[in-house]
Chains A and B, each alone.
Chain A
Amino acid sequence: MYAGADSQTVRHSPLVLEGLVKHFGGVTAVAGVDLEVESCEVVGVIGPNGSGKSTLFNLISGMLPMDEGRVWLVGKEVTGRSAWRIARAGLARTFQIPSLFDNISVRDNLLAAAVEGDWKGAPRRAGEVLEMLEISHVADNLASELSGGQQKLLEFGRVCMRDPSVILLDEATAGVHPNIRRIMLEAIRRVREAGATFLVIEHDMEMVREICDRIIVMDAGQVVAKGSFDEIADNVEVQRAYLGRQR
């Protein structure tokens, strides 16, 4: 059971991680991560490169098998389930490098995201998502023809098509134009208001400050600090881990 939480809390939180561990040979990528994310909360995950953030996402989403630990999603334990089962249980994610369906159109990418859900309502929903993300003008383009920023938007759009309970965003605004960053932030706010819970890997500290309710800091596979943005910013351990030196 998750340390410090009773069974009722575990079952009702949208996302609960308990002692997640992942080794790659002799390297421990994730070393016993515990986390509980409340409903409609946005939790930021920050840390230096190689600290285990993306591996953590892969464990949660079933892309990688975990060596130890348990995951609870919307009250159900999903530990050891395959990625497609976890997705159907209410999890959606983006990838660090946009993972689009390159050979079909932008609109078809959105429709493809709805194949396991409300198929009849998918065209209408796709129109709404295209409008929200301001990419209606490229709806009939191939996904591979989009700019890097538009690809990030489209990947988030696919997440929106599924109406998931928990969303994992892996560097959703890394390297994008400020205008696209604005569209993305606004879309995240709207989806959150609609009831979604977020876990967000991000290096853009301005974005972290703007959207995250609280932050966890990872280093060498462990959570080394938790708290609000200001608490984290003043944490000496974080500065040492993240910047490699004391401020």
Chain B
Amino acid sequence: MVSKLSRPQLASLLALFAGMVVLAVLPAYIDPYSLRIVTGVLMWAGLACAWNIVGGYAGYISFGHSAFFGIGAYVTGILMQRDLGIPFLATLPLGILVAVGVAAAIGGPTMRLRGAYFAIATWAFAEMLMQMAIVLDITGGTAGLSLPAYLNEFFFYYTMLIVALGVYLGTWYLLERTRFGYRLKALRDHEPAAEAMGIHTTRVKVQAFALSAGITSLFGSIYAYWVTFIDPRSVMGPEITDQMVVMVLLGGLGTVWGPALGATVLWLINRYIWSELGDTAIYLPILGLIIALIVLFLPNGLISLLPGGRRGHGLLGRLLRKL
């Protein structure tokens, strides 16, 4: 439905098309190290987009998304072990199914909570899952799991590219053009009013949470196969969620393309620090600093600086007030 494309939407689509062409031919022009960085950008862009569905469109700050990333990674990792030998592509839908099921089960009770209570509940859930991954045998515990190596950077680049593009286009359509998107934005802006209009807000929130979890899990699966080794900290650590949150805030909360922008900038900073200093210890303080600067000076994110960027929305302030 609803109406024809507006001028900013048309401009976005044209920019997207141009970007797709550039990204499609990019591997032919850059070295393997740079290709790996761009592959990371694509993955984080997709993850930020997934978090934005819950944080930006539903207005609920989840600190538990690393759990879904880990679920995807572990489902793929476990199923690809030699004794099972399930092909990589077959593990993807299974990872998604598990994550969606867990999100639906967790979302039912937690999405009735508001503000800080929801944030704390999701954080606790992620911590619980990480502890389980540490103590269970099937996950390899702290020793982690090794996956069969597939040393083809082009495969992972194009896989990430296709999945990330699919996620962005699907999200754009779902959130900007369908009833589901309107329901989500309505409950984000005024939940009692949304209910008074007949919207079953709890159901919509759980649907959004499950959708977001499924996408996050998908990237977790691809990541596991890409890096060939996973352990609880590397795929379920809180830094994964923190990064998603900051990428969305930096790019533009509640916008379709803001998370991609934030992910690009932040991941390039991350990689620059790593290449210059040899580790990323200073990266977390930088994340904190970026959050402070966004809250103070750029509440609508980097995307608001672009031509046609949205006007003075108060989403960040609204979310912070909830906390």
Contact = CB atoms under 8 A, between A and B. Distances in A.
Given A92-B196, A100-B190, A103-B189, A115 B182 contact: yes
Contacts of A142: 311-313
A104 B185 CA distance: 8
B192 A115 contact: no
Interface residues of B, number: 28
B192 A111 contact: no
B192 A112 contact: no
Interface stretch (B83-91, B131-139, B198-206, B258-266): B198-206
Contacts of A19: none
Interface in A52-108: 61-63, 82-84, 87-88, 92-93, 95, 99-104, 107-108
Nearest to B193: A99
A158 B190 CA distance: 13
B114 interface: no
Contacts of A145: 311
A198 B95 CA distance: 52
Contact of B1 (A63, A93, A95, A119): A119
Contacts of A107: 3
B183 interface: yes
- A99, A145, A162 — which one has the most chain B CB atoms within 10 A of its CB? A99
A228 interface: no
Interface in B134-192: 179, 182-183, 185-186, 188-190, 192
B250 interface: no
Contacts of A144: 312, 314
A120 B2 CA distance: 8
B190 A87 contact: no
A151 to B, nearest CB: 12
B185 A108 contact: yes
A174 interface: no
Interface in A194-247: none
Interface in A104-139: 104, 107-108, 111-113, 115-117, 119-120, 122-123
B22 interface: no
A111 B182 contact: yes
Contacts of B182: 108, 111-112, 115
A63 B196 contact: yes
B77 interface: no
B185 A112 contact: yes
Contacts of A104: 185, 189
B296 to A, nearest CB: 20
Contact of A63 (B190, B192, B318): B192
B239 interface: no
Contact of B197 (A63, A108, A162): A162
Given A102-B313, A103-B185, A122-B1, 15 more contacts: A84-B197, A87-B195, A93-B196, A99-B196, A100-B190, A101-B190, A101-B194, A103-B189, A103-B254, A103-B313, A112-B186, A112-B197, A142-B311, A144-B312, A145-B311
Interface of A: 61-63, 82-84, 87-88, 92-93, 95, 99-104, 107-108, 111-113, 115-117, 119-120, 122-123, 142, 144-145, 158, 162
